Amino acid sequence: MATNKHALIRYRTIDKCLQNRSRRWTLNDLIDACSDALYEYEGKDALVSKRTVQLDIQTMRSDKLGYNAPIVVYNRKFYTYENEDYSITDVPLTSIDMDILTESVEMLSQFKDFSLFSELNGVIQKLEDKVYRTSKSQTPIIHIEKNENLKGLSYLDVLYQAILKNVVLKISYQSFSARQKSEFLFHAYILKEYNNRWFLIGKKDEQDNFLNLALDRIQNVDLDLKAKYLECDFDADKYYANTYGVTVMSENQIYEIELEFDRSNAPYVLTKPIHSSQKLLSQNKNGSIIISLRLHHNFELERLILGFGASVKVLKPRRLKNRIKKNLERAYKNYLPN
């Protein structure tokens, strides 16, 4: 990334020099200008070779970046633009550029409610307008799943800011199983998205265990500026290393799970592993496979297995096997005649 950034800085520097027709630019002058620009960017000397600037000029002249810059040399020494009004900043967008911009704007727009991106809102709107006018309302090629009607999304920004600034939250919450809502102080550490739902991970006041709160079950959020924030060196990657989904039942209780998938679903499981711990144990002649996983046993894992229906069989552990079996038995009874 740094190399690409350096190249862009050099291109812009050369462009700026060649637009300045009040002086004559030799190759050494352009080298010095590029070195100065990189020094201002990094705060340290950057060695720009003669070969590098020569290649930059060659690239700017070519169609590689769409510049096609009319750079000419006169008196076999001085560089300038043949067209006095030319600048690489005025190069029109290509159809490929427009495709990339269209999808990038679509993705950025998903985060418009985060104050983290608030300063980008104006830029995004300008890009949307540019894309609309240039592409004539071209429909997106990439479709991103989203549910704008999901409850709790309005809390995303205040929760993000509380985590960023280490502020204790006062939350009113009612889980699906609770008859009434409860209020408590909460020390939040991360926001996590799973299956198109958002969760807040942290600790209740004066409790050691981590909790995940579904944003769609939050009734109200306030900031408690007087309460002391419980700082925690929370490592999300480590915490969720052996978890499918968002619920960590017990950090220390990890199961060796073995699943057998039939021939029809084996390719999907192999090309899209269920979890990073997935290993292929055997591939049978009939096309079925047996895989292993090292995971916590939670609701999300059960739902995943049940979603495969008759295409999967739990081999172990016995606890998980029995849970899936009972769920399937109850599901079967739903279809028995009354």
pLDDT at site 2:
44
Torsion of CA 313, 317, 323, 327, to 10 degrees: 0
The 8 Å CB, 24+ separation contacts for 60-63 are 60/11, 60/14, 60/15, 60/88
Over range 73-99, report the average pLDDT: 80
Fold of domain 153-239: SH3 type barrels. (2.30.30)
In the chain, where are the structural domains located?
Answer: 2-90, 95-135, 153-239, 255-333
Fold of domain 255-333: Alpha-Beta Plaits (3.30.70)
pLDDT at site 46:
75
Domains 153-239 and 255-333 share a fold: no
Over range 26-43, report the average pLDDT: 89
Do the beta carbons of residue 48 and residue 42 sit within 8 Å? no
pLDDT tens per residue across span 208-225 = 889 999 999 999 999 999
Query: Considering the chain, what percentage of its residues have pLDDT values greater than 70?
Result: 81
Amino acid letter for position 146: K
pLDDT tens per residue across span 89-135 = 776 656 556 566 666 666 665 555 565 555 555 555 555 555 555 55
Residue 24's closest CA among 69, 58, 75, 70? Answer: 75
Alpha-carbon distances of 294 from 109, 110, 175, rounded to whole Å? 36, 33, 28
pLDDT band at 253 (very low <50, low <70, confident <90, very high): confident
| Residue 170, SS3 per DSSP | strand
Amino acid letter for position 43: G
Phi-psi region of 122 (alpha: psi -120 to 50; beta: other; left: phi over 0): alpha
pLDDT reading at 157 higher than 90: no
Query: Considering the chain, what percentage of its residues have pLDDT values greater than 90?
Result: 58
Who has greater pLDDT, 120 or 148?
148
DSSP string, 101-162: HHHHHHHHHTTTT-GGGGGGHHHHHHHHHHHHHHHTSPPPSS-----TT-TTGGGHHHHHHH
Here the tokens at position 330 are 């109850």
How is the chain split among helix, strand and coil, in percent rounded to 5? 40, 20, 40
> Which residue intervals of the chain are DSSP H helices?
2-19, 27-42, 50-61, 95-109, 121-135, 156-164, 236-239, 266-271, 299-307, 318-333
Who has greater pLDDT, 308 or 141?
308
Over range 280-296, report the average pLDDT: 95
pLDDT band at 1 (very low <50, low <70, confident <90, very high): very low
pLDDT reading at 53 higher than 90: yes
Who has greater pLDDT, 233 or 120?
233
* Domain 2-90, CATH class in plain words: mainly alpha
Strand partners, 186: 169, 204
Place of tokens 């995971």: 295
Q: Give the CB-side neighbour count of residue 242, counting CA atoms within 13 A.
A: 15
What is the pTM (predicted TM-score) of this model?
0.61
